[in-house]
Amino acid sequence: MLWRIFKYIEHLSHLRHRKGHGIHSPYLFEFIDRVVFNSEGVECPRMVLQEHRDLKNNVTITGGEGRSVSSFVLGSSVSEKYGALLYRIAGWFGPEMIVELGTGLGISTLYLASGSPGTTLHSIEGNTERATIAAHLVSRCNLGPVSIHWGEMDEKLSDILPLMPGRFMAYVDGNHSYEPTVRYVRNLLDRAGEEAVIIMDDIYWSRGMNRAWKEVTSWQETRISIDLFHMGILLLRKDLPQARLKIKF
Ligand SMILES: C[S@@+](CC[C@H](N)C(=O)[O-])C[C@H]1O[C@@H](n2cnc3c(N)ncnc32)[C@H](O)[C@@H]1O
What are the boundaries of each domain within the chain? 2-246
Rounded distance between C-alpha atoms, residue 22 and residue 228, angstroms: 16
DSSP annotation string for 151-189? S-HHHHHHHHGGG--SSEEEEE-SS-SHHHHHHHHHHHH
- The H-or-E segment that residue 27 falls in is helix 26-30
Burial class (CB in 10 A: 0-12, 13-18, 19+), 221: middle
Residues of the chain with pLDDT under 70: 16-21, 63
Closest CA to 62 of 101, 104, 103, 100: 104
Rounded distance between C-alpha atoms, residue 164 and residue 99, angstroms: 9
Q: Which of 48, 76, 111, 132 has the most ligand 1 atoms within 8 A of CB, as the residue to mutate?
A: 76
Q: Which amino acid is at 26?
A: P
Q: Which residues contact 60 (CB under 8 A, 6 or more apart)?
A: 68, 69
- The H-or-E segment that residue 88 falls in is helix 80-93
Q: Which residues contact 33 (CB under 8 A, 6 or more apart)?
A: 19, 20, 39
Ligand 1 in contact with 129 (CB < 6 A)? no
- The whole-number pLDDT of residue 166 equals 97
Number of residues assigned to the chain: 249
Ligand 1 in contact with 17 (CB < 6 A)? no
- The whole-number pLDDT of residue 62 equals 80
Tell me which CATH code domain 2-246 carries.
Answer: 3.40.50.150
Ligand 1 in contact with 102 (CB < 6 A)? yes
Count Cβ neighbours within 10 Å for each residue of 154-183 and write b for 16 or more, e otherwise.
eebbeebeeebeebbbbbbbbbbebebbbe
- The whole-number pLDDT of residue 8 equals 86
